[in-house]
């Protein structure tokens, strides 16, 4: 049985995951607007993945018999600057999410809630991949600077990102 404290914390994380999805959709729309269609596709895939993350938490809460109450989602920004700025914003956001998930994992251990801890370890491991992927994109963007051909190549590469697998 999940504690009320953990339930509330997971409901907050659920809201954070929905915000993440919303943020990535805003980033995708922005990139489409500034004619980086590959980046827009990559960020739309990230939106899809964040939706799946939220679904994973939602399903867990339902399975634990929690009363799921959805909260309002904060409006994300609509302007992000350069394409490099977009991905820097993404990395900063992912680092914030990593911190939140680490704190939740600590709380689950403190409460000796091994089922929730197990769920959260999936997210903690996912965050390592998320940060590494975005860091790699930032490195490539820094390398090419404002070179149009280099930006075109990176944008094309970003556009080839496959859709995420559904939640098991």
Determine if residue 35 is left, alpha or beta; phi over 0 gives left, psi from -120 to 50 gives alpha, anything else beta.
left
Look at residue 98 in the predicted model and tell me its pLDDT.
98
Dist CA 20 CA 120 (whole Å):
17
The pLDDT-based confidence of 168 (bands split at 50, 70, 90) is low
Look at residue 167 in the predicted model and tell me its pLDDT.
65
With CA atoms as reference, report the closest residue to 86 among 31, 44, 140: 31
The token pair at 10 is: 């997971």
The pLDDT-based confidence of 66 (bands split at 50, 70, 90) is very high
Look at residue 93 in the predicted model and tell me its pLDDT.
98
Mean pLDDT of 118-133: 97
Domains in the chain: boundaries = 4-158
pLDDT digits (tens, 9 = 90+) for 78-108: 999 999 999 999 999 999 999 999 999 999 9
When the pLDDT of each residue in the chain is averaged and rounded to a whole number, the result is 96
Mean pLDDT of 128-143: 97
pLDDT digits (tens, 9 = 90+) for 111-125: 999 999 999 999 999
pLDDT of 69 > 70? The answer is yes
Instruction: Write down the CATH number for the domain with range 4-158.
Output: 1.20.1260.10
- How much is the pTM? 0.95
pLDDT of 166 > 90? The answer is no
User: CB of 107 within 8 A of CB of 7?
Assistant: no
């Amino acid at each position: 049985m999940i504690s009320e404290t953990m339930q509330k914390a997971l409901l907050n994380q659920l809201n954070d995951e929905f915000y993440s999805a919303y943020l990535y959709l805003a980033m995708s729309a922005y990139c489409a607007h500034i004619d980086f269609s590959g980046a827009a596709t990559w960020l739309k895939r990230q939106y899809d993945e964040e939706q799946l993350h939220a679904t994973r938490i939602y399903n867990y809460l339902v399975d634990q018999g929690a009363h799921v109450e959805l909260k309002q989602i904060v409006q994300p920004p609509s302007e992000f600057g350069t394409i490099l700025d977009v991905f820097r914003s993404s990395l900063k956001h992912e680092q914030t999410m990593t911190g939140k998930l680490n704190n939740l994992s600590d709380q689950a251990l403190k409460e000796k809630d091994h089922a929730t801890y197990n769920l959260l370890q999936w997210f903690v491991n996912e965050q390592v991949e998320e940060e590494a992927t975005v860091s790699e994109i930032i490195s490539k963007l820094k390398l090419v600077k404002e070179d149009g051909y280099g930006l075109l190549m990176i944008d094309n590469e970003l556009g080839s990102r496959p859709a995420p697998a559904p939640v098991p």
